[in-house]
Structure 1
Amino acid sequence: MDILDKLKNREEIYYPIERNRNTDLRFTLYDAFLAKKRFERFAPLFMEAFEEINGPCYYKSDLYKSKLGADVYLKLDSELKVAHSVKARGGFNEVMVKVEDVLKENGMLDKFDELSLNDIRKIMAAYTIEVSSTGNLGLSIGLCAKAFGFKAKVHMSRDAKDWKKKLLREVGAEVIEYDSDYTYAVKMGRLSAEQNHMSYFVDDEMSEKLFLGYAASIFEVAEQVASSGLIPSDDEPLHVFLPCGVGGAPGGIAFALRSFFKDSVRIYFVEPTEYPCMLYSFVHGEAASVNDIGLGGKTIADGLACSAPSKLVFPIVDSLIDGFFSFNDESILRAKKDIEEIDEKVVEASSAAALLAYEKINRPKNSILWITGSNVDK
């Protein structure tokens, strides 16, 4: 059956691709390194803002040796403090850059080390940060923006979980709900920000700041891989499975993995059959919406419920990854149950999809399942 027919029929798919080795990736690992240094520079302020933080663990997570198979690990971004998901990496970087930009505009960036958290909050109080989200990015941006004194407006699609909206409202963020999908929430978020010259819109589809915040994970991952005794090579590569929604987070991580490990890593994107936006666009030949082929309904993998891919990531996706997977809700729920029962780790359904891809290609050695979603089960 033709791949497009399989997509339309919501069939589970494994679609390997021949990676393009000639694409200019635009960024370098030095760009990711600068994001890492920003996290370190802001660490004292985060520890003052969030009492739950002990050290820099709000942006570093464990590489956990799983019981799911030989030489398989879980990258537990689900256990990142404060925002509880991979979105903490990109979202926090975006807000920190905005803080730096505002300080620069006010001639105070060179005095950063002298400023207290209250000093920064007073300066940022005149500004608003807006973002559109299916849940986790909104939580990351909203919590971080409020911590540094910004007004925060979070435009939530119909897929967003109630507990995330509640948590945002508890810290004083304004949550706007839409009975529509992520693409519509993005449209409305942009329109809202355009009406206020003091408002800044975080564009999940095009943001380099988000992308590089995710990419900064490479420095901890490389160290964790080495300390775990894994020695990736061209003959025995590292296999990394990344749940994919709009593509910003997996794209940033994939870019960093590819830049560091070169041909000693195999990278795969995993999507729900209701929202295989990156795979559909790849087959279609250009960034497109799965709504065009009758998809885009409800899915248990709410964090991946994005109709169209990132226009920043899509043009380079074929230089980053080695294949796509899509799985239905029934399979994803089974994987979630397996991870929670075998490894006793609470994970969102969207994260659990990574396990299915690992199983689909016969549990390869040296595998990392990137657990991107929250471990807060509400």
Structure 2
Amino acid sequence: MVYSQVEIAEWQREYPVLKNVLNLKPVFWTNPNFKGINEASLPITRDDIEAAEELWQRFAPFIEKEFPDTHETHGVLESPLRPIPHMQARRLPAVEGSLYLKCDNELPIAGSIKARGGIYEVLQHAEKLALDAGILKKSDDYAVFSSERFKTFFNQYSIGVGSTGNLGLSIGIMSAKLGFDVSVYMSEDAKRWKKDLLREKGAHVLEYKGDFGKAIAAGREETNANPKGYFVDDEDSKHLFLGYSVAALRLEKQLQEQNIPVDAEHPLFFYLPCGVGGSPGGLTFGLKQIFGDHAHCFFVEPTHSPSVLIGLATGEMDHVSVQDFGIDNKTEADGMAVGRPSKFATPITDQLVSGIYTIDDDELYRLLSMLADSEDIWLEPSATSGITGPEHVLEYCRDQEIAMDQVTHVAWATGGALVPKNDMETFYEKGKQLN
């Protein structure tokens, strides 16, 4: 529904942050419903994360065999954790503590964080089908998934997903590799190169006028009409969520390897780009399970697509969209151009996220060119959004009595490796002109 001006005015009186949100101004919002990890009531546990990691390990032989860029890691999909001191000195000179970039832009296969959730969900579905059909035991060498027998078996099944881009890439690439008949339902304004790459990898791409929500609705209806169809529902998926959460287990090891302490005196602050909320929600759940309340997680959304912020601030969760408030949901951050938050992730996020800030598109481009110049790291625009996180949490740290000089800040970079060179150069030049 679209609220009347009287109703919107009432919302703003009840939730003052909405005034600037509706005026498309950047805001920082602290979550009043935050609970400590021991007080939160959650539908999943650390055991679920461990089980998800075990599935990843079972499939590692297949992934290593099929994807040459995973040979070095023996089929494990993981990204580096890099310090970015030159970027910190240039863009955040007054911020104390150390700034790192979690480089999910370098994740193998799909070049974005969506490799964690999207590929995981496809793999768990493939495993279940094979186990149920009696052609697989969990004790088998999963390199068998490369065989023609398995590809022929999966070809009778279809997979569908609605996507603004990166999730579609991860689902499409892995589904096609396994042999599934896969269709990706995309909004018309999704990046052309992502659609072209999906078709090149063997996926069907169907385009819809309007935003992400219409693509999801169409994909869900068409896929579920097939008795052998499986729809990956970004708005309501436990499996996507768990796929993302495994990153916390891997990050724990990386922090230990780099001798980065984590305790009450040395907290971790994470800045997580947010679209529908599944990937940052899964990361937050995992990070809180591993690091407890020493992890402080903040989401970042475009000023034109603040769906999770509106859902949490009003308490309406996935029952409201940005369009209900007259916000257009148009942003260059295509992976974050989502009007309605996740049904599954948002109630969990409501208890665990410390806050949310919003950012405008021009700032994304400025950060992109600045990061390229200072660190020679190239991200797509949406993936830069976490870099400014530390400057937003100064008052939060004062309120929490946290010494900023002891904080390890981690901006989560969510995509960029597969962006065509010409597109990246265009992004860069736009950022240079804005700086």
Looking at structure 2, the residues matched to 58 and 304 of structure 1 have their Cα atoms a distance apart, in angstroms, of 26
Query: Equivalent pairs: percent with the same residue?
Result: 36
Cα distance in structure 2, aligned partners of 1:25 and 1:117: 37
Matched, 1:325 2:357: yes
Q: CA deviation at 1:293?
A: 0.9
In the other structure, the counterpart of 1:61 is 79
Q: Deviations over 1:229-258 (max 9, x none)?
A: 221222331111000000000000000111
Aligned with residue 11 of structure 1, among 12, 20, 25: 25
Matched with 2:177 is 147
| Alignment partner of 1:127 is 2:169 | no
* Counterpart in the other structure of 2:382: 350
Change beyond 3 A, Cα 1:28–1:299:
same
> What is the deviation of 1:335?
1.5
Match of 2:263 in 1: 233
Partner Cα distance (2:254, 2:189) in 1: 34
Q: CA deviation at 1:270?
A: 0.4
Name the SS for the 1:42 alignment partner.
helix
Q: Which has the larger radius of gyration?
A: 2
- 1:109-258 alignment to 2 at 5 Å? 109-110=136-137, 112-113=140-141, 115-118=144-147, 119-258=149-288
> Do residues 52 (structure 1) and 52 (structure 2) align?
no
The DSSP-based 3-state class of the residue aligned with 2:42 is: coil
**Within 2, Cα distance between the matches of 1:75 and 1:43?**
22
Q: What is the TM-score when the length of structure 1 is the normalising length?
A: 0.96
CA 170–58 in structure 1, closer or farther in 2 if over 3 Å, else same: farther
Q: CA deviation at 1:264?
A: 0.7
Q: Matches of 1:162 and 1:58 in 2, distance apart?
A: 29
In 2, distance between residues paired with 1:49 and 1:15?
44
What's the offset of the Cα at 1:377? 2.7
3-state secondary structure, aligned to 1:271:
strand
- Please tell me whether the aligned partners of residues 296 and 305 of structure 1 are also in contact (alpha carbons under 8 angstroms): no
C-alpha separation between the residues in 2 aligned to 1:281 and 1:165?
30
Partner of 1:39 in structure 2?
56
The alignment of Structure 1 onto Structure 2 pairs a total of residues equal to 378
Partner of residue 100, structure 1: 127
Once the two structures are superposed, what CA deviation does each residue of 1:314-344 show, in whole Å capped at 9, x if it has no partner? 1121321111000111112112222222111
Shift of 1:46: 1.4
Specify the SS of the correspondent of 2:52.
Answer: helix
Q: Which residue of 2 aligns with 1:366?
A: 408
Structure 2 spans left out of the alignment, 5+ residues: 1-11, 89-96, 395-403, 421-435
- Structure 1: state its 5+ residue gaps: none
Q: Tell me how large the CA RMSD over aligned residues is.
A: 1.7
The 1:30/1:293 distance shift into structure 2, 3 A limit, reads same
Give the one of 89, 112, 117 matched to 1:90: 117
Secondary structure of 1:229's counterpart equals coil
TM-score, length basis structure 2: 0.84
Q: Which has more helix, going by share of residues?
A: 2
Q: Tell whether 2:292 aligns with 1:262.
A: yes
Would you say the 8 A contact 1:31–1:212 is kept in 2? yes
SS at match of 1:347: coil
What is the one-letter code of the residue matched to 2:111? H
Matched, 1:73 2:88: no
